[in-house]
Amino acid sequence: MSTTPATSRAISVEINGTTYEREVPASRLLVHFLRDDLDLTGTHVGCDTGSCGACTVLVNGQAVKSCTLLAVQADGAAVRTVEGLAGEDGELTSLQRSFSEHHALQCGYCTPGMLMSATALLERNPQPSEDDVKIALQGNICRCTGYWNIVEAVVAAGGKP
C-alpha cells in the first residue's frame, strides 16, 4: 500500500448551472481550475494570497476567495462566477446595472470580486445599509475608486429585481 498522496482526483462541480466532471491535480486552486481549465476568466487572480478579493466566487451561496480553495474541495458544490450573474439572454442584474449607473468601477480589475461579494450580501439581505455593504465588502480591495461609488451602487441595487 502506497503512502504517497494521490496526485489527481476526479471531481464534479456545478458551475453557473452546468456540471463539469474533470480530473484535476490535487493541488489545483479553484481559481486556476475556473480560469485555466474552464476558460472562465472573469474570476481574476489578484494577489494569490486571499487578501484582495478579486477572485471571489459563490460556493453554495457563500462568498469565497477562490485562490484559497482547492478545486477538489469544491467537489459536489454549486459554484457561481461573475459569468453566471447575467441572465441567459445577457440581461444584466440590477447590481451590475447599478455599478454602471453609479460609476462604481474604473479599471475593473476588482469588479468581479466586488460583484460576487455584493451578490452574496443582497441574497441574504435584500436592502442593506451602507454599513452592511462596507462590512460585506471588507475583504475586497479596490485601488481606484475609493469605494464610495461601490457602496452607493450596492445600496441602490438593494430591493430591485
What is the reported pTM? Answer: 0.92
pLDDT of residue 143: 86
Specify whether the backbone of 104 is left (phi greater than 0), alpha (psi in -120 to 50) or beta.
alpha
DSSP labels for 18-53? EEEEEEEETT-BHHHIIIIIT--TTS--SSSSSSS-
Q: Which amino acid is at 122?
A: L
Residue pLDDT, tens place only, 100-134:
999 998 899 999 999 999 999 999 999 999 999 99
Pairing state between β 78-80 and 8-15: parallel
**What domains lie within the chain, and their CATH numbers?**
8-84 (3.10.20.30), 94-157 (1.10.150.120)
Separation in Å, CA 86 to CA 25, 57, 151: 30, 14, 20
Average pLDDT, the chain: 93
> So what's the pLDDT on residue 159?
76
Convert the pLDDT of each residue in 3-35 to its tens digit. Answer: 556 799 999 999 999 999 999 999 999 999 999
Q: What is the pLDDT of residue 23?
A: 96
Strand stretches in 91-157, DSSP E: none
- What band does 161 get if pLDDT is binned at 50, 70 and 90? low
